[in-house]
Structure 1
Amino acid sequence: MDFEQVIKNRKSTRQFTDQKVAVEVIKKVLQEAQLAPSWVNSQPYHVHLATGDSLERVRAQQEQLDNSGAKGAPDLPMMSRKDWPAQAQVNMAEWTKGLGAAGKEMGPASAKLYNAQEVLYLTLPKGYSLWSLYDLGSFGNGIVLAATNQGLASMTAYQFIKYPKMLRKELNIADDEEIIIGIGLGYPDDNALVNTIKSRRMNLDDILTIHR
């Protein structure tokens, strides 16, 4: 794909098919994502790939925790929507209002980790510089764009990392790594209603100030 196609085709996929992704394809995606900018070339992040049996154990544990009513306790603290800036609250409210019938499928889909066939858990070392969050965000964006270029669908979601204690146990992630975000990869289920959800972006003039 050319660059514009990649940007426009990237979307959050909330239901994947059962088709697996070859590890070599994932490695290519990660190698391309590594070209993202990094503060003083620090490259502070680490990637844990959950696939096959390890991912199915995580998925089973995740569903059990969700069904038990366990509260998420991510390493990167969540903030209530009411504490976000006013414009962000407006954007989130509009998005939620526009979900329609597809919104009813979000809960069941997320409980099964969207049926993602591969999940990348991105971590930073404890005590990381706040600058490293920009690096990780750039790296993560590089992942989803490179994945799109390879014909893969992706989903970046809180749901993947809401139970870090379980993830450390199942994936043997060291205590000195903060689990920041998870990215699901696979092939989209084009028949899933939940995959019809679209997000509207703000008008450029609403976020841009030109200083001449």
Structure 2
Amino acid sequence: MRKSNHEGAINLTIEQALHQRHSVRQFTDQPVPLATVREILAAAQLAPSWVNSQPYQIHLAMGAPLERVRQQQAAQEAAGTPGTPDLPVMSRHDWSPQAQRNMADWSAGLGDAGKAMGATAAQLYHAPVVLYLTLPKGYSNWSLYDLGALGNSIVLAATDRGLASMTAYQFIKYPQMLRRELAIPADEDIIVGIGLGYRDDQALVNTIRATRMPLDKILTVHD
């Protein structure tokens, strides 16, 4: 396994990438080469989709366009503007009991690091690259699975190249602003955003880690 200074491990096995990937909530200002992002996306395109439909589009924001988005996002956050995402957000109280317990346990364990989450989120985690994944209006529900497979493939491919990632609602909270600033067509629903960059090792917010339930809590073997 090769290493490259701050950029971390590359040429990982799938299992190594799965274990090393975690959500990073503050990135450094180190730029990410466009060529590297294109390599990540080309690898992620190998993800399966229904009858090879590949129903999604990817809008890549970096440089000046992303800074405009970041400024607009911060202004709307400061004004207390409520989010109006294309994919409705369900109240935590409406999730399953299992999901509610997991979310409550995660929130209870945030400690001091949790206090910094709002400020860094308002700045889109300072990510130097944000990918906006969209689906055409009227999409099949199956396409949500396909887009999820693409998104997970993106973050694993990024991990393999020494990049950190963050998949977050925060990126797509204000879709009308995104359509205006990035010229995203009105006939595309903005489903999820993924930030890419290099992890800020000094940021307290990056000490947050999530645990997973024991496998037997979600697995039923029918043999």
Equivalent residues in 2 for 1:187-202, closer than 5 Å:
187-202=198-213
Q: CA deviation at 1:32?
A: 0.5
Q: CA deviation at 1:79?
A: 0.3
Q: CA deviation at 1:54?
A: 0.1
Q: CA separation in 1, counterparts of 2:63 and 2:35?
A: 15
Is 1:162 aligned to 2:173, yes or no?
yes
Unaligned runs of 5+ in 2: 1-11
Q: CA deviation at 1:138?
A: 0.1
Correspondence for 2:154 among 102, 124, 143 = 143
Aligned counterpart, 1:97: 108
Aligned counterpart, 1:42: 53
TM-score, scaled relative to structure 1: 0.99
Q: CA deviation at 1:2?
A: 1.7
Aligned counterpart, 2:64: 53
Letter of the 2:203 counterpart: A
Aligned length: 212
Q: CA separation in 2, counterparts of 1:163 and 1:124?
A: 16
Q: CA separation in 2, counterparts of 1:87 and 1:140?
A: 24
Is 1:32 aligned to 2:29, yes or no?
no
Letter of the 1:211 counterpart: H
SS of the equivalent of 1:63 reads helix
Q: CA separation in 2, counterparts of 1:119 and 1:2?
A: 25
Q: CA deviation at 1:136?
A: 0.1
Q: CA deviation at 1:5?
A: 1.2
SS of the equivalent of 1:144 reads helix
Q: CA separation in 2, counterparts of 1:4 and 1:171?
A: 35
Q: CA separation in 2, counterparts of 1:127 and 1:76?
A: 12
Q: CA separation in 2, counterparts of 1:11 and 1:190?
A: 13
Letter of the 1:148 counterpart: T
SS of the equivalent of 1:173 reads coil
Could you list the structure 1 runs, at least 4 aligned residues long, displaced by more than 6 angstroms after superposition.
none
SS of the equivalent of 1:20 reads coil
Unaligned runs of 5+ in 1: none
Correspondence for 1:153 among 152, 155, 164 = 164
Identical amino acids, percent of aligned pairs: 65
Equivalent residues in 2 for 1:99-118, closer than 5 Å:
99-118=110-129
Is 1:16 aligned to 2:27, yes or no?
yes
Is 1:124 aligned to 2:135, yes or no?
yes
CA RMSD of aligned residues (A): 0.4
Q: CA separation in 2, counterparts of 1:129 and 1:123?
A: 13
Aligned counterpart, 1:76: 87
Letter of the 1:181 counterpart: V
Aligned counterpart, 1:133: 144
